[in-house]
Amino acid sequence: MKGNTQKINIWLRLGAGVVLSLASAGLLTLAFPPYGLWPLIWLSFVPMLIAQHRVLPRKTSSLAPAIAIGVWLGSYLTPMFGGSGTYMAWLPLLIGGITLLASSGERAFHERTGYRWFVAQGALTWVGFEMLRSFLPMMGTWAFVANTLHSQPWLIQPVSIFSIFGLGLLIMLVNYGLGLGALYLFDRRWQLDPSISVIGSSAARNWLLGISAALALWVGLSLALYRAPAAPTVRVAALHYDAGKPGGAPNKFRELTYQAAQDGARIIVWPEVAIEGDPQVTGTAEFQRLAAETNAYLTLGYIVRVTEQAFRNEATVLSPDGQFLGVFGKDHPVVFGGETSLTRGTYPVYDTPLGRIGTMICYDADFTDTARKITRNGAQLILLPSRDWPGIATTHYTHAVFRAIENRVSVVRSDGSGNDSVVIDPYGNILALALTPGGDREGQVLVADAPLGTGDSLVVQLGDWMGWISLAGMAFFVVYDPITKMRAKRSAAPSLQPNQV
């Protein structure tokens, strides 16, 4: 009878653990676009942590993060890549499996160390993994927990100091601090494993007070930084239209360009691959006439076929007097799509009477390095031709918000599939937005007065320094874990008495 009762108890614990893990997956899903319930990100991991460290049996504890993260990424990535045939469609399952293995020793580590490292290890490890993911060609800053706060500029200004990784670290510290408090309350009511290391009231209280203070300081600093100084502005325009195939609607983009000029735009951004062929070689006189007649700087995204499978993906800026100021090659090309460029790895900035402008292309905004290199070269305004598909429309433009704040520059994003175009100021305020998943076949022009940025943020100078600190912290715990195992074995070994020698 006792054996049957134990089996029933295990199954109940497994069921409850799975439910809690799914609850975390649901909270994370709701925190991210398109749902945008951003306050949930501050506590999304708490149910998972209760399941992992108290509810699930020890041997199955790593199921909690595997289920929570795998299911959440499934809901996040499947709408983007489902049916695409790329490995990204299967990535959630792969990451769930990796998480299952990577977290298999976490509970044992914290029980050996009395949960004194619980908050620091959890937060640093998560952000350390985000730092590693930012180096991967098809990952970048996608699914970063900080992205959930893109619509709250009053709250995210310290990103200009601590980078997106600093904000992610704060979010995870809050989650793990609340998680530690939840484990303390759980221990007061239940002890499913009698030999478990219970959480002390002083440890839970100290961590919660410390994290509350850090959050209060962050909010206070953000509000102080949010008082933007007056800055010169330039009227910009982003052309928003579903052009179908690459280079498929040059006449429509000319029509929208004239409309933007009538609205006073002096800098007009065409989308990625809006033109088939290099405008410096093909149709040059016509583009020069368009720039002259509109008296505007035109940012032109174009492709040049190299082979049937490969093409150059580039952008150039044409001045009103007919001069092509330079060429930017996509810094983070989608390699499996055949993208390449002769000028990749250079970051030109053009000094104009309207301000110093630089360009990126689409996927470059999903990484922290490209915008930073352009800003270091003096850019005050970054122009971003893009071309998205409907599955990423509600998420993709949000990355540009963080690039604007990190570098204190305005960003103008023009989408050639008519999904998501946006103009953002150096403080992350969205000045104009066209969000039409599925494509806008009518076409529209986003016009706004964009402040010229200063580019004087600490992130421009030091880069992703909080990401590197988090990665170092993750490495420390990877090394420290086996050390605690050896110490535990030594302390458990029976000591030899003198008469036994």
pLDDT value of position 1: 45
pLDDT band at 90 (very low <50, low <70, confident <90, very high): confident
318 forms beta bridges with: 298, 324
Distances in Å between the Cα of 340 and the Cα atoms of 309, 324, 358 are: 10, 21, 19
Euclidean distance between CA atoms 137 and 168, whole angstroms? 20
Percentage of the chain with pLDDT > 70? Answer: 94
Cβ pair 24, 47 in contact under 8 A:
yes
Quick one: how far is CA 252 from the chain centroid?
33
Residues 6+ apart with CB under 8 A from 72: 24, 25, 28, 29
- Give phi and psi for 86, each to the nearest 5: -85, 165
Distance from C-alpha of 403 to C-alpha of 375, rounded to nearest angstrom: 10
Q: What is the pLDDT of residue 151?
A: 97
Q: What pLDDT does 501 receive? A: 40
Give yes or no for residue 205 having a pLDDT over 90. Answer: yes
pLDDT at 369 (0 to 100): 96
pLDDT in tens, 234-247: 999 999 999 888 87
- DSSP result, 281-346: TSSHHHHHHHHHHHT-EEEEEEEEESSSS-EEEEEEEE-TTS-EEEEEE-SS--GGGTEE-SSTT-
Give the residue, 157 or 93, on which the prediction is more confident: 157
Position 391 scores a pLDDT of 83
Query: In this structure, are strands 297-305 and 311-318 parallel, antiparallel, or unpaired?
Result: antiparallel
DSSP track, 90-142: GHHHHHHHHHHHHTTTHHHHHHHTTTTTHHHHHHHHHHHHHHHHTTSTTTTTT
More confident of the two residues 93 and 69: 69
Residue with tokens 């809006």: 274
Paired tokens of 263: 């609205």
Res 496: pLDDT: 47
Spatial separation of the C-alpha atoms in residues 325 and 318, rounded to whole Å: 6
> 3-class secondary structure for 328-339?
EECCCCCHHHCE
pLDDT tens track for 336-372: 666 777 778 889 999 999 999 999 999 999 999 999 9
Q: Could you give the CA distance from residue 28 to residue 71 in angstroms, rounded to a whole number? A: 10
Whether the per-residue pLDDT at 97 is higher than 90: the answer is no
- Classified as helix, coil or strand, 229 is coil
How confident is the prediction for the chain on average, in pLDDT? 91
* pLDDT tens track for 222-280: 999 998 778 899 999 999 999 888 877 888 999 999 999 999 999 999 999 999 999 99
Task: Tell me what the mean pLDDT of segment 471-494 comes to.
Answer: 89
Residue 145 scores a pLDDT above 80: yes
**Which whole number is the average pLDDT over 420-426?**
97
**CB under 8 Å to 231, separation ≥6 — which residues?**
426, 451, 452, 453, 454
**Can you tell me the distance from the alpha carbon of 387 to that of 421, in angstroms, rounded to the nearest whole number?**
10
Higher pLDDT, 194 or 466: 466
Confidence of residue 6 (pLDDT cuts 50, 70, 90): low
Query: What is the model's pLDDT at position 226?
Result: 95
Q: In what order do the strands lie in the sheet with 410-415?
A: 349-352, 355-359, 381-386, 410-415, 420-424, 430-435
Q: Is 308 a residue whose pLDDT tops 60?
A: yes
Q: Which 8-state DSSP code applies to residue 418?
A: S
pLDDT of residue 473: 97
Mean pLDDT of 28-39: 96
Q: How far apart are CA 199 and CA 136, in angstroms?
A: 38
Mean pLDDT for the stretch of residues 4-22: 85
pLDDT band at 84 (very low <50, low <70, confident <90, very high): low
Per-residue pLDDT at 228 = 74
Count how many residues are written for the chain. Answer: 501
What's the pLDDT tens digit per position in 379-408?
999 999 999 888 888 899 999 999 999 999
Q: Judge residue 87's burial from the number of C-beta atoms within 10 Å of its C-beta, 0-12 exposed, 13-18 middle, 19 or more buried.
A: exposed
Note whether 240 and 414 are within 8 A (CB).
Answer: yes
Question: Taking CA 336 as the corner, what is the angle to CA 334 and CA 339, rounded to the nearest 5 degrees?
Answer: 50
